[in-house]
């Protein structure tokens, strides 16, 4: 289960600090063009070059008083500058040329020696501030503070002496998912499977719960977009609840089976991408064409199913600025409408701390989204389960558990209701 207990968040205000403001008055066009070439970005937006006393360093930078590094799984695609002994600047860049969804992921580890605080200025290229810094480390928590620039082009983070990690959201990488899949397989008496491999050679891992010949298949997908960790929090709680229900017999494993793929974009997560896989593609726009190995791995597995097994439902877990469910629009069948009414209808304010909205959207032919492809291909309910960036993790988990408990009863009710008409 994703935990945020060890992370501390505090934002002191929205006024622009002197260090952040200085970026806009000390510009070096030559340095900026050199930086664009170094990081492989041909055009930029919003961010301007900091006045630096060092050359750009993609691996991190250090002084006698402090250091910043991007040398771990999930670290951001960033470049570091030294401004002075206790002031470092990070330029956060996307994995490919704009346009790109504004999900500016940052994650770095730092060291600050005794005798003063370390200031790390995070500057965004092609985006504005979205994710409030999460801090995990040694030192006095009271010394951790955050100032967001008024134009949201940058954030200044003050860190106490010691060592730690700062990131836009809690860092949830492959080790977490290996543990999760093990728990799901054990608790749900399931089987772990490898569907395929990513561009980087990472396995696309899944777990299959229920009998292999159970006629109704529920597909649960996660982390197509790397920074969307709150959606992962919901998916963890949701799938662990499903596993318990199967183990207890509350879900009939002879009638229902589940394919759970919690980390569909392992390359993007490992490399700190904002949106895309290593192929530079938004995986949630690749369904139908299946040009990327990650989506193709799922599609190939589905194509090999025996004829008596058919998908009955798909949920795709994501994050955005609020809690909501994207569902079928006017094209919804009677069965799809019945399931929506049974599972989500009237529950928009039923879960403490997790109010949500239901947003029907008609399919956009050729859009390549998971939701549209599953609905068009199988004529089943196919929803995007969106969790707010700043939603309370306890409430997120509680709501996910409750929704998981009511999932199969709602699906059964919808199937029975449409058969009886």
Catalytic site positions: 386
Residues 384, 318: contact at Cβ < 8 Å?
A: yes
Helices (H), 11-63: 18-21, 29-39
Beta bridge partner(s), residue 112: 66, 162
Residues 143, 401: contact at Cβ < 8 Å?
A: no
Question: Please, is 334 exposed, middle or buried when counting C-beta atoms within 10 Å of its C-beta (0-12, 13-18, 19+)?
Answer: exposed
Q: How many CA atoms lie within 13 Å of 33's alpha carbon, on the beta-carbon side?
A: 3
CA distance 347 to 88: 47
Beta bridge partner(s), residue 118: 159
CA distance 84 to 119: 10
CA distance 333 to 412: 16
> 356, 349, 354, 348: which is closest to 395 by C-alpha?
354
- Phi, psi dihedral angles at 353 (to 5 degrees): 80, 0
Sign of torsion over alpha carbons 268, 165, 65, 81: positive
The alpha carbons of the chain give a radius of gyration, in whole angstroms, of 23
Angle between helices 393-405 and 229-248 (to 10 degrees): 40
Task: Write out the H or E segment, with its range, that includes residue 261.
Answer: strand 256-261
CA distance 140 to 159: 9
For residue 51, the SS3 value is coil
């Amino acid at each position: 289960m994703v935990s945020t207990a060890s992370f501390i968040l505090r934002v002191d205000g929205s006024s622009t600090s002197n260090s952040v403001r200085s970026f806009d008055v000390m510009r070096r066009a030559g340095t900026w063009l050199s930086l664009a070439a170094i990081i492989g970005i041909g055009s930029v937006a919003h961010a301007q070059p900091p006045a630096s006393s060092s050359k750009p360093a993609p691996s991190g930078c250090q002084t006698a008083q402090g250091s910043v590094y991007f040398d771990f799984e999930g670290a951001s695609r960033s470049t570091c500058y030294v401004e002075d002994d206790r002031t470092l600047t990070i330029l956060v860049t996307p994995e490919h040329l704009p346009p790109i969804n504004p999900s500016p992921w940052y994650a770095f580890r730092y060291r600050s020696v005794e005798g003063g605080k370390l200031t790390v200025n995070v500057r965004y290229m092609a985006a504005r501030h979205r994710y409030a810094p999460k801090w995990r480390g040694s030192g006095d928590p009271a010394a951790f503070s955050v100032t967001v620039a008024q134009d949201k082009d940058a954030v200044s983070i003050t860190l106490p002496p010691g060592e730690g990690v700062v990131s836009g959201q809690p860092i949830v990488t492959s080790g977490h998912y290996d543990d999760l899949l093990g728990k799901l397989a054990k608790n749900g008496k399931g089987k772990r499977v490898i569907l395929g491999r990513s561009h980087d050679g990472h396995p696309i891992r899944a777990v299959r719960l229920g009998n292999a010949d159970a006629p109704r298949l529920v597909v649960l997908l996660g982390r197509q977009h790397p920074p969307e960790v709150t959606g992962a929090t919901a998916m963890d709680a949701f799938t662990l609840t499903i596993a318990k229900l199967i183990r207890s017999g509350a879900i009939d494993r002879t009638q229902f089976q589940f394919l759970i793929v919690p980390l569909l974009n392992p390359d993007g997560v490992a490399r700190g991408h904002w949106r895309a896989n290593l192929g530079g593609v938004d995986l949630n726009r690749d369904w139908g064409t299946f040009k990327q190995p990650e989506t193709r791995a799922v599609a190939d597995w589905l194509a090999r199913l025996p004829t008596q097994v058919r998908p009955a439902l798909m949920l795709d877990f994501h994050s955005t600025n609020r809690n909501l469910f994207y569902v079928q629009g006017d094209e919804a069948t009677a069965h799809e409408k019945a399931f929506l009414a049974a599972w989500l209808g009237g529950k928009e304010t039923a879960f403490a701390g997790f109010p949500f909205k239901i947003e029907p959207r008609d399919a956009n032919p050729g859009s390549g989204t998971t939701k549209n492809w599953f609905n068009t291909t199988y004529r089943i309910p196919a929803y995007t389960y969106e969790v707010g960036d700043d939603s309370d993790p306890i409430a997120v988990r509680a709501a996910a558990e409750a929704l998981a408990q009511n999932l199969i009863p709602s699906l059964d009710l919808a199937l029975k209701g449409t058969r009886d008409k």
